[in-house]
Amino acid sequence: MSTSIKLIHSTKQVSGTVQLTGSKSESNRALIIQALSGGRVRIENISEADDTLLLTNALAKANESGHGQQIINIGPAGTAMRFMTSYLNLVQGDFILTGTERMQQRPIGILVDALKEIGADIHYQKKTGFPPLHIEGKLFQSKDTVKIQGNISSQYISSLLLVASALKKGLTLEIEGELTSRPYVTMTLNMLEEAGITHEWTDNKIHIASQQAKETTLYIEPDWSAASYWYAMVALSEQGEIFLRGLKQNSLQGDMAIAEIMAHFGVSTEFTETGIQLRKTTFISDKKLFDFKECPDLAQTVVVVAAALKKDVSFTGLETLKIKETDRIAALQNEIAKFGVELVVDGETYHLRTANFKEPEQLSIATYEDHRMAMAFAPLALVFPAIHIEEPQVVEKSYPMYWDHLKQQGFSIIQ
């Protein structure tokens, strides 16, 4: 694919059915559970995302024996970096765990400190607190309790929980302070339960005893994060109805919060036995504050929709966005400014200002090596005559069929 594509939607209407790939979040957890299960756990409907393929390949390489020091490069896959940082300590071997230049700027110190506290042999290859990491596998567990901050990436906590049952003494996590992104921790624990790994969660302590998984098949639900972009398209269309197959009302995924959020922006959700039906409505609520503490991956989608609908609303819970694939707050500010909208910082609250909204003659969106930037801004082709998306291939990280699905819904894509 070229370094830039031009998106046009002539009718500004969307309708039809979309089959989303399996959830990346569920798939990556399932892969670690499977790898530690001794062949007892199978997976169905695994994600087609690059991140999941990278983790699959990393696990396969980690389990190749007799090859000396193994260099495992997980590229830009943040979840894979966090999960492999814990997993490699349970494998006999000598590993260098690394990633892209941006990955080497994303902090990992809190997780490494927790692992070292229970006996892991991990050293930094370059900058303290950041990848690449030198990991000597087969840790000798020195203690079974570790404290970890709750207001950091939930992936650190999930990483520890996923390996806890494989530790000889099990593991108790004491979470200090308020837990950010709680639904992702709950997803991890629920998936472990599906595989027969039980836990106890009392107050701020999560305990998982040493135990084995049972024979089971983990079915991966389609990705609610990917669904959010279809909510955006319905919201920004002149007329819109989209059916998304396989999504469930009792989902494990915290990003199903998009259904409630987008009800405030004119999109209704009807749950059926086979999926969800999205419809554009005339209802736009007067809600002024949206909290993304438990669903930060939805923030870009909703900020762009609100900006395009010229809604002056405010957002909280965006703290973790600065350490994602890019500094997502700065990236959002840069790109919405191109059509006259501001995202103003006030402590931990961010205010959208749309008074100077404009329609530029040329709108080209930079994606900052971030898949969610490309997918969140693409629906603007339903608002503006045309938009350009730079480096469109970044969507392969989580939703490789994204541009094909847009074509099926009437978008013209010119390379």
Query: What residues act catalytically?
Result: 297
Cβ proximity of 392 and 316 under 8 Å: no
CA contacts within 13 A on the Cβ side of 219:
5
Burial zone of 129 (CB within 10 Å; 0-12 exposed, 13-18 middle, 19+ buried): exposed
φ, ψ of residue 135 in degrees (nearest 5): -120, 125
CA distance 365 to 343: 16
Handedness of CA 98, 99, 100, 104 (dihedral sign): negative
CA distance 12 to 367: 23
Give Rg (Cα) of the chain. 21
Could you give the maximum distance between any two Cα atoms of the chain, in Å? 64
Burial zone of 215 (CB within 10 Å; 0-12 exposed, 13-18 middle, 19+ buried): exposed
277 Cβ contact list (under 8 Å, min separation 6): 241, 242, 243, 269, 270
Please give the helix or strand (H or E) that residue 343 lies within, else none. strand 342-346
Per DSSP bridges, beta strands 216-219 and 41-44 are: parallel
Cβ proximity of 320 and 294 under 8 Å: no
Phi-psi region for residue 46, left (φ > 0), alpha (ψ -120 to 50) or beta? beta
Burial zone of 338 (CB within 10 Å; 0-12 exposed, 13-18 middle, 19+ buried): middle
DSSP-assigned letter for residue 222: B
Cβ proximity of 170 and 209 under 8 Å: yes
Closest CA to 157 of 114, 106, 107: 114
**And the tokens for 250?**
């009792």
